[in-house]
Amino acid sequence: MNPVATILQPNETNLRDMRKSLRLGQLVAIPTETVYGLAANALDEDACAKIFGAKERPSEDPLICHVPDFEALQRYCETNETAAQLAAAFWPGPLTFVLPKKPIIPDIVTAGLDSVAVRSPSHPVFRQLIEGCDFPLAAPSANPFSYISPTLALHVQANLGDRIETILDGGPCELGVESTIVDLRNPASPQILRYGALPAESIENALKCRIARPDTEHTPVAIAPGTLPKHYSPRTPLDLRTSPILEDELQISDRNTAYLLLRKPPHSLSNHIHWLSEQGELDAIAARLFAKLRELDTGGYQKIVAEEAPELGLGLAINERLRRAAFRT
Ligand code: TXA
Ligand code: MG
């Protein structure tokens, strides 16, 4: 049997060992407030190549660089007033900027683009780790390419445990969906490339203007490079409903089909009926979505039927994940 990655607790000794492994060009899985990431020293080309290998990720899909703060960001990309304003409002947190890259960032990180994606996560364990690193961390979500993103150390161990040595435990990810990505190359017209854990409306309120958004309602293909329609996908086929699933359908439903509802139903409480929140709270739905999809995917069901969230706030990120999970070629 292949060796299984060790899950390490975030104490000083383990953090020191992990920084050393990263400095030596090894991969380490790390917690963030959104999802777990698979990290390497972003300035080390060979180390970053290992990320693509472990995830079986195509080389045209660029990586996000993680930094401790806005001051560090300025070492790796050209910045502007809009970035400074958004960082002051939302960093550390689930917001990624795309900005013109400086030559110090290797091409492998950006898939040859002349821009780089950068964010500063708020997870306390992540911050403890990075504050002792003198390099940024390139880290995609720590899932095999196109599978469901991990929100627990155990998820990483289950999928990548035979390909990496260590996973830093930071508990369950609080937010549960990836960061929002905003293209700030033209500071006068910011553009959302991927809906994520920071609602688009929050960015608009901070900038006091409307910003361009991807049309994920009509096409599952986001405009961020490297993104494919099928992603975040369980192996079990997933049907997505645009209108709420009614009690009548649940009453007569087939037990080989898992129902994934946004909120707890009033009556139908049998084992194949699952829900993501008590009352439809979007933050609870986002936080549980990926873990629940994994649970249903390994639950022996023939099919999963899920409901779309309202098309606003965090609902936009939740629906983008659900639509791509449901996409079939
Ligand atoms: O919350 C998150 O963002 C997580 C955690 C680990 O930080 N990371 C994450 O990384 O979601 P990943 O690799 O799963 O998604 C990164 C996406 C790429 O697929 C690409 O679409 C976009 O970020 N991206 C990266 N660099 C870019 C660039 N230079 N221009 C446009 N989009 C870029
Ligand atoms: Mg990902």
Here the tokens at position 234 are 């369980």
SS (H, E, C) the chain: CCCCCEEECCCHHHHHHHHHHHHCCCCEEECCCCCCEEEEECCCHHHHHHHHHHHCCCCCCCCEEECCCHHHHCCCECCCHHHHHHHHHHCCCCEEEEEEECCCCCHHHHCCCCEEEEECCCCHHHHHHHHCCCCCEECCECCCCCCCCCCCHHHHHHHHCCCCCEEECCCCCCCCCCCEEEECCCCCCCEEEECCCCCHHHHHHHHCCCCECCCCCCCCCCCCCCCCCCCCCCCCCEEEECCCCCHHHHHCCCCCEEEEECCCCCCCCCCCEEECCCCCCHHHHHHHHHHHHHHHHCCCCCEEEEECCCCCCHHHHHHHHHHHHHCCC
Check pocket membership of 63 for ligand 1, CB cut-off 6 A: yes
What separation in Å is there between the alpha carbon of 132 and the centre of ligand 2? 25
Query: Is 299:258 a contact under the CB 8 Å cutoff?
Result: yes
Q: Which ligand is nearest to the CA of 126?
A: 1
What separation in Å is there between the alpha carbon of 155 and the centre of ligand 2? 14
Check pocket membership of 110 for ligand 1, CB cut-off 6 A: yes
Query: Is 181:96 a contact under the CB 8 Å cutoff?
Result: yes
Widest CA span of the chain, in angstroms? 61
Per DSSP bridges, beta strands 64-66 and 191-194 are unpaired
At 183 the pLDDT is 97
Residue pLDDT tens, the chain, 329 long: 567 999 999 999 999 999 999 999 999 999 999 999 999 999 999 999 999 999 999 999 999 999 999 999 999 999 999 999 999 999 999 999 999 999 999 999 999 999 999 999 999 999 999 999 999 999 999 999 989 999 999 999 999 999 999 999 999 999 999 999 999 999 999 999 999 999 999 999 999 999 999 876 665 545 565 566 767 789 999 999 999 999 999 999 999 999 999 999 988 779 999 999 999 999 999 999 999 999 999 999 999 999 999 999 999 999 999 999 998 76
Q: Does domain 238-326 have CATH number 3.50.50.60?
A: no
Check pocket membership of 221 for ligand 1, CB cut-off 6 A: no
What separation in Å is there between the alpha carbon of 119 and the centre of ligand 1? 10
At 231 the pLDDT is 75
Cβ burial, residue 136 (10 Å; 0-12/13-18/19+): buried
Query: Is 121:178 a contact under the CB 8 Å cutoff?
Result: no
**Given 3.40.50.2000, 3.20.20.140, 3.30.365.10, 3.90.870.10, which CATH number is that of 6-207?**
3.90.870.10
Cα dihedral sign, 64-213-203-280:
negative
Check pocket membership of 117 for ligand 1, CB cut-off 6 A: yes
Ligand 2 being an ion, which residues bring their Cβ within 5 A of it? 141
Select from 131, 136, 67, 130 the least CA-distant residue to 106: 136
Q: What is the pTM of this model?
A: 0.96
Check pocket membership of 80 for ligand 1, CB cut-off 6 A: no
CATH 3.40.50.11030-classified regions of the chain:
238-326
Check pocket membership of 26 for ligand 1, CB cut-off 6 A: no
At 228 the pLDDT is 65
CATH 3.90.870.10-classified regions of the chain:
6-207
Here the tokens at position 131 are 């504050």
Select from 65, 121, 135, 64 the least CA-distant residue to 91: 121
